[in-house]
Amino acid sequence: MSDFRARQELLSGTVTDTTADGRGVIAGQGKTIFVHGALTGELVSFRIRRRKRRYDEAELVEVQSASSDRVEPRCAAYRVCGGCSLQHVSPACQIELKQAVLLDNLQRIGGVSAERVLDPLTGPVWGYRRKARLAVRDVQKKGRVLVGFRERNKPWVADMQRCEILHPRVGERLAELSELIGSLALRNRIPQIEVALGDDEACLVFRVLDEPSGQDLERLQAFQVSSGLQVWLQPAGPDTARPLPGTDLAALSYSLPEFGLQLEFRPTDFVQVNGPLNARMVSQAVQLLEPDSSSKVLDLYCGLGNFSLPIATRAGSVLGIEGS
């Protein structure tokens, strides 16, 4: 049978396992088949889309017998967008999948087993993401600029009007951003937008390959005022990111109230994407560490001090080390 005919053939099988990125595992003839969107225990029909030496990748066609863990994805673009891979899985099952992968990796790769497994921390399921990188593409065939994540396993930008995972201040404005960039002379010279949100402020960093014209700057400034979102420009590397000319903006920051801390950061800095979950994670880490006035703590790859500074409110001394 030719490869083309094999890819058109409709197959069926029972899923025996689910990977952490939402692919169902089916035992094929001599090699494993990964079916995106299929869950353990389901009977599904599928078509092979990509053949590898040791495994095949397949497209889900129909779920003939659904798992109790299956839910309807909230996002309209979920089936094509590569930004998420688990929206078809219940939140509780998502955590179970990720924990199982972690424990398996510790055993299989590290050769260690956990003596005690803590209950997983949980946080908001929707609208929580405060850091992201959105792709931008002026698509002439569609007659407009697309703003969103890349399509799954493809280089194209997904056609999406909103994102359910991003914080609503940005996630609900993708269509508005598309219209804004489409009005700029620079519309073909903006490949991406870096998204960063603090507790109060939100920022969009436009990667610009050319200097914006005066009219473009006016339109960006008007959008900044009407939306309440800070607009920055990044002409080269992350260190070149700067606010629009002539603007005086409040710094991005997030608080860890349990420790009386407010951490400021630049929009191109790394921060944990889920703010409420980060606060719980830091709290639990400090409780488990139990530092006191006699403790000396070394925090490698400390970043902004997300752990170092809270620990320093309890420990005798803390040394945080960060390198490029």
Q: DSSP H helical segments within the chain, as ranges? A: 3-8, 91-108, 168-171, 174-182, 214-227, 275-289, 308-312
Token digits for 261? 């801390």
- Cα 310 to chain centroid, rounded: 25
DSSP states along 85-137: S-TTB-HHHHHHHHHHHHHHHHHHTT----S--PPPP---SSS-B-EEEEEEE
Structural domains of the chain in order of their starting residue, each with its CATH number? 3-65 (2.40.50.140), 131-243 (2.40.50.1070), 254-321 (no CATH)
Residue with token string 């719980």? 280
Strand partners, 197: 202
pLDDT value of position 110: 94
Phi, psi of 262 (to 5 degrees): -130, 115
- Residue 232 pLDDT: 98
pLDDT per residue rounded down to tens, the chain (324 residues): 445 555 579 999 999 999 989 999 999 888 999 999 999 999 999 999 999 989 999 999 999 999 999 999 999 999 999 999 999 999 999 999 999 999 999 999 999 999 999 999 999 999 999 999 999 999 999 999 999 999 988 999 999 999 999 999 999 999 999 999 999 999 999 999 999 999 999 999 999 999 999 999 999 999 999 999 999 999 999 999 999 999 989 999 999 999 999 999 999 999 999 999 999 999 999 999 999 999 999 999 999 999 999 999 999 999 999 986
CB 46 within 8 A of CB 12: yes
As a whole number of angstroms, the distance between CA 161 and CA 152 comes to 17
C-beta atoms surrounding 324 within 10 Å: 2
